[in-house]
């Protein structure tokens, strides 16, 4: 028995719906040459870094090690007390003849549910020669996580950008609050993120 027009249309729309769901849930291609990193890059994708902070995921890992051997590993939870002091950072392929910008932000200020002050700027260093962060121009020194009590987990992204030229800040940044990462990237021609990492932290009280 043949299908009437209404039944055919409903089945056709159902097939389109299923195809759309499959397409939207397909895994984003990994844009890294590091196969091991490709296995963890989906953690960046599902963390909400896009669109909360960036438009692309970092193509290579940024190694972040705190005092006592504590490391950020793409979304693991660390204590504010463990991350109070400035960490050591490193990444493969950082060219000693090029300059880089380091940005660390918390997009969940004061909470992920109500990010009125997105993003809170925890660290900003520009004109870093290669991996020598200590020789860069510190705009905001490192400030460890201090999530307010009762606001749940906060995300802390540590990101490196390769500069096309020496960065001169035309406008002073007067506050850590409401730092617009994408606007800063665009204003200074930083392009896509070069390397990155992130961890979670919540109030210890």
User: For the segment 70-104, what is each residue's pLDDT rounded down to a tens digit?
Assistant: 999 999 999 999 999 999 999 988 999 999 999 99
Say what the pLDDT of residue 27 is. 45
Q: What is the pLDDT of residues 16-69, one digit of tens each?
A: 443 443 333 334 456 566 666 776 778 888 999 999 999 999 989 999 999 999
The whole-model pTM stands at: 0.83
Which residues are registered as beta bridge partners of 128?
100
Segment 120-146 mean pLDDT:
97
HEC assignment per residue over 146-180: CCCCCCCCEEEEEEEEECCCCCCCCCCCCCCCCCC
- As assigned by CATH, the class of the 34-201 domain is alpha beta
Strand partners, 156: 199
**Distance in angstroms (rounded) separating the CA atoms of residues 186 and 148:** 30
Domain boundaries, the chain: 34-201
């Amino acid at each position: 028995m043949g299908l009437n027009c209404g039944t055919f249309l409903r089945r056709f729309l159902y097939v389109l719906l299923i195809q759309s769901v499959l397409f939207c849930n397909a895994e984003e291609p990994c844009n890294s040459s590091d196969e091991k990193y490709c296995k963890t890059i989906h953690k960046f994708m599902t963390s909400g870094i896009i669109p909360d902070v960036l438009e692309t995921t970092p193509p290579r890992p940024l190694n972040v090690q705190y005092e006592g051997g504590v490391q950020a590993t793409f979304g693991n939870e660390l204590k504010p007390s463990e991350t109070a002091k400035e960490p050591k950072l490193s990444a493969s392929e950082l060219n000693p003849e090029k300059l880089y910008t380091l940005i660390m932000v918390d997009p969940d200020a004061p909470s992920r549910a109500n990010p009125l002050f997105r993003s809170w700027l925890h660290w900003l260093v520009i004109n870093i020669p290669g991996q020598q962060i200590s020789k860069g121009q510190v705009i905001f020194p490192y400030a460890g996580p201090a999530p307010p009590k009762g606001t749940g987990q906060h995300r802390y992204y540590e990101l490196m950008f390769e500069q096309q030229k020496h960065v001169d800040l035309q406008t002073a940044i007067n506050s850590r609050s409401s730092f617009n990462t994408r606007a800063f990237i665009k204003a200074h021609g930083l392009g896509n993120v070069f390397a990155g990492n992130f961890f979670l932290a919540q109030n210890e009280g």
